[in-house]
Amino acid sequence: MKTVKDRFLKYVSFDTQSQDGVDEVPSTAKQLELAKFLVEELTELGLSEVELLDHGYVFATLPATTDRDLPVLGFIAHMDTSDAISGANIRPREIENYDGGDIVLNEALNVVMKVSDFPTLPEFKGETLIVTDGTTLLGADDKAGIAEIISMVAYFKEHPEIEHGKIRIGFTPDEEVGNGTKYFDVDKFGADYAYTVDGGRLGELEYENFNAASGRVVINGVSIHPGSAKWKMKDAIRIAMEFQAMLPVYEDPYCTEGYEGFFHITEIEGNTEKTKLNYIIRDHDADKFEAKKALFAKVGEFINAKYGEGTADVTITDSYHNMKEMVEPNMHLVENAKKAMIELGIEPRVEPIRGGTDGASLSYMGLPCPNICTGGMNYHGKYEYVSVDAMFKIVELLKKLVLIYAE
């Protein structure tokens, strides 16, 4: 019988990296290879209504085993991996009975995951970890979530004597580039409530996330030979640096944590004539979020007043909003998840997400959807790892949640 570890190691063999800036969903055709594989696996498990939908969504149903009127629960994870670092040719390595010290990921390249850099590492002493070879990400975000969901439904499929309600599962493309729910059909999915399984360390439970916007700035300069540039040249690179310098230095990701929001410059390119800057703007508090967007626009207005109208072309686009407002009327989702964790001896870690998940958008689409852990750590980089012990516990957690809703 396949274990959650077996499934995970198979899924990470698929390169499913999504690509930002592509309007089409999925943004990369290679995501469909994993989607097709999952459809085959779910069909072999005997689930019903297994479908590969337009745009690469995978839906399936585990039918109820009782005639009682129980809510339809959904469990959702995403298939793509971040475009921050390669997700191709992943070579996972298993470390049994981890000793709590530094981990050499790649001796030849001198890539070492150090306790001094990652001080929570010793907390995993004695557990089995899966790590990278130091050249790619791992893919626990979110293939660990997929493996845990499928392992959970496989268990119930093998034990039809256990009473539970109807379960819907959904796997999405392009979550990492903000389009995971762009074509998600909530009505077709048909769940009353759902959970995304897309968090981090064991015990994480999240129903608050950032309000998010993207900011794009185009600085239009004037290129003049520097020997005769006085009062004529407008160096777009220098003005772009001035724009960045006018944003609060203490509202940068480097300086923030918890509920603190930020401005984060993610890309800058250009020359004297034209320079482009891309930002993400984040805050949990709606009023502070609006204030950040207003400040961002105000900086552009100042640049235009100083150097001439049209120097700074500023565009702000909302991405997603804090799911808290949608989840709070359905707090049984949070309370039942905490109850399941406590009954399994897992310490609940109720924390705000310093980012977003598909669940944020789904909550505003009418499907209340908090986020629970996968057991992964250090996402989006070569230091990503996952605890196998945690993955097995999370399968038990998902099973427990289903049973709580069947009480």
Element containing residue 397 per DSSP (H, E): helix 388-404
Determine whether the annotation assigns residue 283 to a binding site.
Answer: no
Smallest CA-to-CA distance from 263 within 304, 293, 302 is with 293
Contact 342, 348 (CB under 8 A): yes
The CA radius of gyration of the chain, in Å to the nearest whole number, is 23
- Given the residues 41, 80, 283, 384, the one annotated as active site: 80
Determine whether the annotation assigns residue 198 to a binding site.
Answer: yes
Determine whether the annotation assigns residue 284 to a binding site.
Answer: no
Q: Output the CA–CA distances (angstroms, integers) from residue 337 to 53, 328, 340, 359, in the order listed.
A: 29, 14, 5, 15
Q: Is 214 exposed, middle or buried (0-12, 13-18, 19+ CB in 10 A)?
A: middle
- Given the residues 15, 41, 175, 235, the one annotated as active site: 175
Respond yes or no: is residue 407 known to be catalytic: no
Respond yes or no: is residue 175 known to be catalytic: yes
SS (H, E, C) 133-193: CCCCCCCHHHHHHHHHHHHHHHHHHHCCCCCCCCEEEEEECCHHHCCCCCCCCHHHHCCCE
Determine whether the annotation assigns residue 358 to a binding site.
Answer: no
Separation of alpha carbons 12 and 364, rounded Å: 30
Element containing residue 325 per DSSP (H, E): helix 324-327
Cα torsion through 141, 143, 149, 150, rounded to 10: 180
So which residues are the catalytic ones?
A: 80, 175
**Residues tagged in the binding site annotation:** 78, 141, 176, 198, 380
**Residues tagged in the binding site annotation for Zn(2+):** 78, 141, 176, 198, 380
